[in-house]
Amino acid sequence: MDLLPLSLVVATRQPWPFARECIEQLCRQAAPMGAEILLADGTGVGLSEEFLGRNPRLRWMKIPGASVFELRARAVGVARGEIVALTEDHCL
């Protein structure tokens, strides 16, 4: 597995589009540096294939019913970044 420079982990237990503005800003910022964004979603519904297609650095992890702590832990466990940063779904 090749390391990326950075993985950004966002855990959410709110249905889409609650985290949309956060994710859109992270996608714009991540692309130039080759970072990935992992959206660990405790609802698992709402994100469209069209949105995912426009944001190739975004990995959507559907884990319905998981706590925010489990969401973060699962995303960190599969992150490919040399550095892993965590933020929250409401942060801009």
- The DSSP secondary-structure symbol of 72 reads H
Q: Write out pLDDT tens, residues 8-27.
A: 999 999 999 999 999 999 99
Tally of CB atoms within 10 A around 9: 25
Identify the CA nearest to 5 among candidates 85, 76, 89, 86: 85
Identify the CA nearest to 8 among candidates 63, 59, 48: 59
- pLDDT at residue 38 is higher than 80: yes
Distance of alpha carbon 34 from alpha carbon 3, whole angstroms: 10
Q: Write out pLDDT tens, residues 42-82.
A: 998 888 999 999 999 999 999 999 999 999 999 999 999 99
Structure tokens at 80: 């490919």
